[in-house]
Amino acid sequence: MGSKSKIMGFVLDGINQVFDERPICDLFAGSASLSGAVGQQTTVISNDIQAYSSVLSDTYNKSYKTENTPTAEEIIGLASELVEQRQLKSIGSYSVDMTRSVFDNLEAAQKQFLTHDFGYRWHLFAKNYSGTWWSYEQCLWIDALREVAEGFKNHPIYPGIMSSLMFAMAYASQGTGHYAQYRDAKTDSSFRDILIYRNRCISQYFRKKYDAILEYVPDGPITARHDSTSLDFKDCLKSFSGGTVYADPPYCFVHYSRFYHALETLVLYDFPALQVQRGSVVKGRYRDDRHQSPFCIRSKVRSAFSDLFDGVQSSRSSLVLSYSNTGMIMLDELIEIGKNALPHYSIDYFETDHQHMTMGRKDDRQRSVKEGLLIARL
């Protein structure tokens, strides 16, 4: 959601106008597409308050192979042993010829694991997410691969292992590309479609991505001094020693944490309290502490942009700011706030046509917008 990968050339054209050999600070890194685009050419400070983002940026810019880098087969083998030890044999399996009523009963039984006592530590996904975006068996594999990954936490390939698991989760999920809410089998058509994803193998998707990452990463340490942080944007700007700030803040009223909380939980693996409404855990199984961005709150967005501009000025950095004409404030007003906050900067503005993904909406899967770049330099 919000990825700039399709208009990266437009973004880089803006960055090249102000780049001065000092580091680039990607202030709202998200899926870390900027790190992937320029990390081999210059130092990148990749920041996002969501911790999963740093795993993605570190995969691009810090991961490398050594003589003892595990293969996909070794990782999957270790996870398979854990799954075999822990799998509850009483839980049925999904078959292509099962009836919808049998399917519904199986799903309902798995949702009851919220109150189950598993008796071992690495059970977070089996407990919280069985019968939602993933089946119980898929969650067993997610937990097992996450446990195996933890054993390689001090190895430079660790971010690559974690990114591969995120990939496997995404392609086995029965959702619509995010984790806001999973789908219910309300019709025979949706039941059959969900059944396809229930039968997808987490380990196969993990192997596919992990093998690709091993091909991508270098054979030895990376010399560039990249860094990744999980800070509030104001704190990140305070710690930035200066260079080029690329800011791609959220545009609309929906908080990204609602869409990607499952990835955050995978990385932190901290058994979070789940959000409750009217005495029951909400369908989305959201973390109770999920981040609420001021850029997504109409009463706070203007002061948030003022704080952003002040932080850029304090480090005497240049700024390249992405925003859309469908954002929380009008582009003309955003430019005016920038001019008032940065009186000693020259400010330019450019825009291009872009197609925003709408994350699974039936009638509006992509939306035509004007994507703008505000460029400020001393």
For the stretch 58-108, pLDDT in tens is 999 999 999 999 999 999 999 999 999 999 988 889 998 999 999 999 999
Which domains can be identified in the chain, with CATH numbers?
5-62+226-255+294-377 (3.40.50.150), 72-216 (no CATH)
Average pLDDT, the chain: 93
Q: pLDDT confidence of 316, banded at 50, 70, 90? A: very high
Confidence check: pLDDT of 257 > 80 = no
Percent of the chain, pLDDT > 90? 83
Determine the Cα–Cα distance for residues 330 and 323; give it in Å rounded to an integer. 10
Confidence check: pLDDT of 358 > 60 = no
Contact present, 57 and 238 (Cβ < 8 Å): no
Determine the Cα–Cα distance for residues 196 and 200; give it in Å rounded to an integer. 7
| Buried b / exposed e along 271-299 (16+ C-beta atoms within 10 A) | ebebbeeeeebeebbbbeebbebbbbeee
Q: Using alpha carbons only, how large is the chain's radius of gyration in Å? A: 22
Please, what's the largest Cα pairwise distance for the chain? Answer: 69
Sign of the C-alpha dihedral, residues 118, 123, 126, 129? positive
pLDDT in tens, 235-245: 999 999 999 99
Per-residue pLDDT at 372: 93
DSSP for residue 134: B
| 129-133, 190-194, 243-247, 363-367: segment of lowest average pLDDT | 363-367
pLDDT in tens, 213-227: 999 999 998 887 899
Q: What is the mean pLDDT of residues 141-152?
A: 98
Per-residue pLDDT at 361: 47
Determine the Cα–Cα distance for residues 364 and 259; give it in Å rounded to an integer. 18
Confidence check: pLDDT of 207 > 90 = yes
Percent of the chain, pLDDT > 70? 96
Residue showing tokens 């880098």: 69
Q: What angle do CA 362, 365, 369 make, to 5 degrees?
A: 140
| 155-164, 251-260, 306-315: segment of lowest average pLDDT | 251-260
**By C-alpha distance, which of 320, 271, 260 is closest to 293?**
260
Confidence check: pLDDT of 177 > 60 = yes
Per-residue pLDDT at 251: 86
Per-residue pLDDT at 118: 95
Confidence check: pLDDT of 139 > 70 = yes
Confidence check: pLDDT of 32 > 90 = yes
Give φ, ψ of 242 to 5 degrees: 120, 150
Per-residue pLDDT at 273: 95
Q: What angle do CA 280, 285, 290 make, to 5 degrees?
A: 110
How many other CB atoms are there within 10 angstroms of residue 187's CB atom?
10
Determine the Cα–Cα distance for residues 323 and 370; give it in Å rounded to an integer. 9
Helix intervals (H) in 269-329: 301-314
Contact present, 373 and 365 (Cβ < 8 Å): no
